[in-house]
Structure 1
Amino acid sequence: EEASGFNPKHEEELRIPNFIVGTKNSLILFVNASVFEELESDQRRGEVIVEGQDARVTGLACHPKQMRFAVVGYSGVLQLWDYGECVVLGARKFDKLKGQCLGFDPEGQYLAVGFTNGTLKLLSATTLDEVQSFRVSGGSITDLTFSHDAQYLATADEDRCVALYRFTYRDEDDTKPVEWVFIGKHRSHSKAITGLQFSPSSPSLEENVEDLPRLLSVGEDHAIVEYDLQNSFIKTGVKLKSRTKTELTAIPTGLLFSFGAIDESATPSIIVANSEYKLKVYGDDHRKCRRTVLGPTYGGPINRMIAMECEDNRYVTFSTMEKVIGVMKLPLDGNPSKTMGLIAHAGEVTSMVSSLDGRYLITAGGSDYSVFLWKVQPEAIEASIALGGDTLRPYLELIEGGPGGEFYDEIRNYFYYAQLRSQGEETTRQRKIEGTVPISQVPNLMRALGFYPTEHDIRDLISELEQSHPGGVDLPTLIRVYVNHRPVFGISKADVRRAFETIAKVSWA
Structure 2
Amino acid sequence: MLYIFSASLEVDIPKGSVIDMGFNPNNTQQFLLMTKHDIWIGISAKIFVMERGLLKETNDYELKIRMIDRKICLEHGILTCFTFVKDTGQVLVATSRGSVLVYGYTIEYNTNVDMKNYENLRFIKGLKVEPRRINVINCIDGVIVTGNSAGEIHFYDSQMKLLYWVHGFTVDSVKGISFNISPRSYIILDPKCKKICPCWEQVVVEEDPETGVPRQKLLKKALPTDATTAEKPFLVRDFIVCTHNQGVGFVDFVTEKLVTILDNKTSHALSLSVHPEKTFLCVGYNDGTIELVNYVQHKLFIRINLRDHYKVVIPPKEDSIKGDMEVTRPQLSVTCLKYSPSGMHLACGLDTGQLIFLHPTTINVLTEQPFRDTLYAIIQIDYSPDSRTLALADKNRTVFVYKFDCDAHKWWFVGKHRAHYKDITSIFFLPIKNANGDYKLFSLGIDRIMVEYNIGESCDEYLEVLSLDRFDQSAVPLCGMYWPNNPELDLETHRNDLPMILIANDEHKYKIVNYATTMTLSTVLGPRYENPVCRMQLITKSQEEGEAQYLLFATKNIIGLQKMPLDGNPWKHTAILGHPVLILEMCYREDSGTLFTIGAKDNCMYQWAPNFRSVETTTKMGGSDLDPYYCLIENGRPGWLFNEIRDLFYYIQILCQGTFSPSMRRVSDFIPIDSLPDLMRALGYFPSEYEVENLLVEAKYKVYQRSPSTEIDFDEFVKLYLNHRPAFCDNFRKIRNAFRHFAVMENNKLTINREDFIEILNSNGERFPLELSWYLLSILNGHSFEDRAAMTEGDFSFLPQKITLEELASNLMGIQDVDILSEQYSVRDSQGSQQTVSSESEEI
TM-score, normalised to structure 1, is: 0.88
Compared with structure 1, are the counterparts of its residues 456 and 433 closer, same or farther at alpha carbon in structure 2 (3 Å cutoff)? same
1:107–1:61 distance in 2 versus 1, CA, 3 Å:
same
Question: Can you list the C-alpha shifts for 1:210-253, whole angstroms capped at 9, x where unaligned?
Answer: 985211111110111111122223x2611111123232222111
Q: Any conservation in 1 of the 2:625–2:715 contact (CA below 8 Å)?
A: no
Moved more, 141-150 or 177-186: 177-186
Q: 1:411 to 1:267 in 2, by over 3 A?
A: closer
1:104 aligned onto 2:339: yes
Letter of the 1:480 partner, please give it.
K
- Provide the residue aligned with 2:314 in structure 1: none
Task: Tell me how far apart the structure 2 counterparts of residues 218 and 56 of structure 1 sit (CA, whole Å).
Answer: 28
Distance 2:576 2:488 in 1: 27
**Conserved? CA contact 2:280–2:361, under 8 Å:** no
Q: Secondary structure at the match of 2:581?
A: strand
Does 2:364 correspond to 1:129?
yes
Contact 1:71 1:79 in 2 (8 A): yes
Deviations 1:168-209 (A, max 9, x none): 37xxxxxx834111111111211111111111479xxxxxx9
Q: CA deviation at 1:299?
A: 4.3
Equivalent of residue 406 in structure 1, options 640, 650, 653: 640
Question: Match of 1:499, SS?
Answer: helix
Residues 67 and 355, structure 1, Cα contact 8 Å, conserved in 2: no
Name the CA distance, whole Å, in 2 between partners of 1:408 and 1:399.
7
Cα displacement string for residues 63-101 of structure 1 (whole angstroms, at most 9, x for unaligned residues): 111222211121322111222222222221121211112
Deviation at 1:459, TM superposition (A): 1.6
* C-alpha distance 100-26 of structure 1, shift in aligned 2 (>3 A): farther
Deviation at 1:455, TM superposition (A): 1.7
Equivalent position SS for 2:472: coil
**Which residue of the partner structure matches residue 239 of structure 2?**
19
2:451 maps to 225
Residues 191 and 101 from structure 1, CA distance in 2 versus in 1: closer, same or farther, beyond 3 angstroms? same
The match for 2:415 is 184
CA distance in 2, matches of 1:13, 1:403: 77
CA contact (8 A) 1:18 1:31 kept: yes
**Matched residue of 2:578: which SS?**
strand
Question: Structure 2 stretches of 5 or more lacking a match?
Answer: 1-107, 110-158, 162-226, 308-330, 490-495, 703-707, 745-751, 761-844
Distance (Å, rounded) in 2 between the aligned partners of 1:248 and 1:296: 21
| Cα distance, 1:185–1:316 mapped onto 2, change above 3 Å | same
Whether 1:48 aligns to 2:260 is: yes
- Matched residue SS, 1:214: strand
d(CA) in 2 for partners of 1:238, 1:501 = 40
**What's the CA shift string for 1:26-81, capped at 9, x where partnerless?**
62233343566xxxxxxxx7333322432222212111112222111213221112
Does the aligned pair in 2 maintain the 1:335–1:394 contact within 8 Å?
yes
Partner residue of 1:42?
none
Residues 419-498 of structure 1: matches in 2 within 5 Å?
Answer: 419-468=653-702, 470-491=709-730, 493-498=732-737
Over residues 140-181 of structure 1, what are the superposed CA-to-partner deviations in whole Å (9 max), with x where a residue is unaligned? 111111110111111111101111111137xxxxxx834111
Deviations 1:237-286 (A, max 9, x none): 11111123232222111111132579763666311111110011113526
Separation in 2, partners of 1:310, 1:250: 32
Distance in 2 (CA, whole Å) between partners of 1:225 and 1:466 is 28
1 CA distance for matches of 2:670 and 2:348? 55
What is residue 66 of structure 1 aligned with on the other side?
Answer: 278
Distance of 1:274 and 1:184 partners within structure 2: 29
Structure 2 equivalent of residue 115 of structure 1: 350
Are the equivalent residues in 2 in contact too, given 1:114–1:142 (CA < 8 A)?
Answer: yes
The letter for the 1-side match of 2:364 is D
Deviation, 1:301, is 0.8
SS of the aligned residue for 2:501 comes to strand
Cα distance, 1:467 vs structure 2: 0.8
Structure 2 residue 636 is matched with structure 1 residue 380: no
Higher relative contact order (CA 8 A, sep 6+): 1
Moved more, 267-276 or 491-500: 491-500
1:193 matched to 2:427? The reply is no
Deviation at 1:404, TM superposition (A): 1.6
2:249 pairs, out of 29, 33, 39, with 29
Q: 1:485 to 1:62 in 2, by over 3 A?
A: same
Give the whole-Å Cα distance in 1 for the aligned partners of 2:268 and 2:488: 40
2:572 maps to amino acid: K
1:243-262 equivalence runs, <5 A: 243-260=468-485
Cα offsets for 1:334-370 (capped at 9, x unmatched): 1112111111211101111001416111111221322
**Residue 511 of structure 2 corresponds to residue 280 of structure 1:** yes
1:308 aligns with 2:539: yes
Task: Tell me which amino acid in the other structure corresponds to 1:230.
Answer: G
CA distance in 1, matches of 2:628, 2:592: 28
Task: Give the structure 2 partner of residue 242 of structure 1.
Answer: 467
**Selected match of 2:392 from 142, 155, 160:** 155
**Which residue of 2 is the match for residue 318 of structure 1?**
553
Distance in 2 separating the partners of 1:5 and 1:420: 93
**Partner residue in 1 for 2:561:** 327
Amino acid at match of 1:105: S
Using a 3 Å threshold, how does the CA distance of structure 1 residues 432 and 211 change in structure 2: closer, same or farther? Answer: farther
C-alpha contact 2:416 2:461 (8 A) present in aligned 1: no
Q: Confirm or deny: 8 A CA contact 2:540 2:590 kept in the other structure.
A: no
Deviation per CA, 1:418-454: give whole Å up to 9, x if none: 1121233233333333322222211111111111112
2-structure distance, mates of 1:260, 1:87: 41
State how far apart, in whole Å, the 2-side matches of 1:109 and 1:190 are.
34
Contact 1:262 1:332 in 2 (8 A): no
1:185 counterpart letter in structure 2? K
Q: Report the Cα distance in structure 1 between the residues aligned to 2:641 and 2:246, rounded to whole angstroms.
A: 55
Partners of 1:268 and 1:387 lie apart in 2 by: 34
In the aligned structure 1, how far is the partner of 2:246 from the partner of 2:486?
A: 42
Residue 140 of structure 1 aligns with an amino acid whose one-letter code is A
Q: Unaligned regions of 5+ residues in structure 1, if any?
A: 37-44, 170-175, 203-208
1:165 aligns with 2:402: yes
Q: Which amino acid aligns with 1:221?
A: D
2:652 is aligned with 1:418: yes
CA RMSD of aligned residues (A): 2.7
User: Which amino acid counterpart does residue 402 of structure 2 have in structure 1?
Assistant: Y
Report the Cα distance in structure 1 between the residues aligned to 2:405 and 2:642, rounded to whole angstroms: 61
Contact 2:438–2:455 (8 Å) recurs in 1: no
Work out the percentage of aligned pairs sharing the same amino acid: 30
Residue pair 1:359, 1:377 contacting (<8 A) in 2 also: no
CA deviation digits over 1:372-419, x for unaligned, max 9? 111113232222222212421111221011112111111011111111
Deviates more, 1:335-344 or 1:282-291: 282-291
1:93 to 287, 294, 305: 305
Residues 352 and 364, structure 1, Cα contact 8 Å, conserved in 2: yes
Which residue type is aligned with residue 231 of structure 1?
E
Amino acid at match of 1:420: I
Contact 2:269 2:285 survives alignment (8 Å): yes
Q: For 1:97 and 1:5, how far apart are their aligned partners in 2?
A: 50
| Amino acid in structure 1 at the alignment position of 2:335 | Q
